[in-house]
Amino acid sequence: MKKTASITKKATASHQRAFEEIVNLIEQARLQSVKAVNTTLIDLYWNIGKYISSKIQSEGWGKGTVLSLAAFIQKRQPGIRGFSPQNLWRMRQFFETYRDQPILSPLLRELPWSSNLHILSRSKRPEEREFYLKMASCNHWKVREVARQMDAGLFERSLLHPPKLSTVLRELHPQAADFFKDIYSLEFLGLPAEHNEADLHRSLLRNLGRFITELGRDFCFIGSEHPLQVGGQDFALDLLFFHRGLNCLIAIELKVRAFRPEDLGKLNFYLEALDRDHRKPHENPSIGLLLCATKDEEVVEYALSRTLSPTLIAEYQTMLPDKALLRAKLHEFYQLCTPPADIAALPLPLKPKRKAPRKKA
């Protein structure tokens, strides 16, 4: 009886593995079909936009003609969605915006129409559109995350505030700057202005999925308050991740105050413990990230210039930044980097909206 039960158990386990493989095949086919449908839809919108654009140039089509076209489509295809006059004009804008940028064509077809529209309508510069197309495609952002990252001014922050990496980190991981930020937007935590480290830690764990989205898609969570034992003493690392692209452990220490140089000493100690006792032979040296409420740029520069560990110092923000202020700073940045003859061609920054004065009764 025992032998029969053992054979049955092995057969069941074998079937389980086989079944899992079949389910994986189904999921892969489903994903490919969704991608194929999206690619076909984007191609359709592109071709419609191209056709309308050519008719505007050759036959002078205007708003009235496009209104008639939308009504004609509804009559011939009752109940069909996505072909309103407004959307038909967007298709034309979509084609005319990207027709001279064939290098972006694959990215356009990887994103859904809603994400493409968001990037198209809100980006002020060609390089900004390209930036968000690449980020959305690489990180598989949904349209809600695209909107959030644009609200947070990721493009402006990436140009104005590149990540602060130690020299050792740049040498050990030459691509590290592509995977980290100088400022992380954590407005989704809903933390009050006054909060302690325990509040921050708990909120990050409660919103772990959104935190990983903010960090980047290659970050994999390992543990919170990860235990480290050195000699006869026990220590706890705030957060431990693994990065698939860099193939290394990422140690994150949280500080709800301004960065202090002595914070690096503790983080360096944790990295040494991870590399000696936890890192696997095929993995690269661990990286340390200090996530602070604020930081003085000059203090950070001094602290990182002599450290012998692969570390970086970043800031977290619990509120979305002032987008108009970011755009104004970006305009100044472009002015500094642009020859005087070309400055007049730069897009003007957005002005903060002012409330209309109340009328006296």
Contact 247, 256 (CB under 8 A): no
What pLDDT is recorded for position 343? 45
Cα(165)–Cα(182) distance, integer angstroms: 9
Beta strands in the chain (DSSP E): 164-165, 183-185, 219-230, 233-243, 248-258, 287-294, 311-317
The alpha carbon of residue 354 and the mean position of all alpha carbons in its chain are separated, in whole angstroms, by 31
Radius of gyration over every alpha carbon of the chain, rounded to an integer in angstroms? 26
Question: How does pLDDT run along the chain (361 residues), one tens digit per residue?
Answer: 555 555 455 557 677 888 888 888 888 888 788 889 999 999 999 999 999 999 999 999 999 999 999 999 999 999 899 999 999 999 999 999 999 999 999 999 999 999 999 999 999 899 999 999 999 999 999 999 999 999 999 999 988 889 999 999 999 999 999 999 999 999 999 999 899 999 999 999 999 999 999 999 899 999 999 999 999 999 999 999 999 999 999 999 999 999 999 999 999 999 999 999 999 999 999 999 999 999 999 999 999 998 999 999 999 999 987 777 777 777 776 666 655 545 445 455 545 444 444 444 3
Q: Record the pTM.
A: 0.78
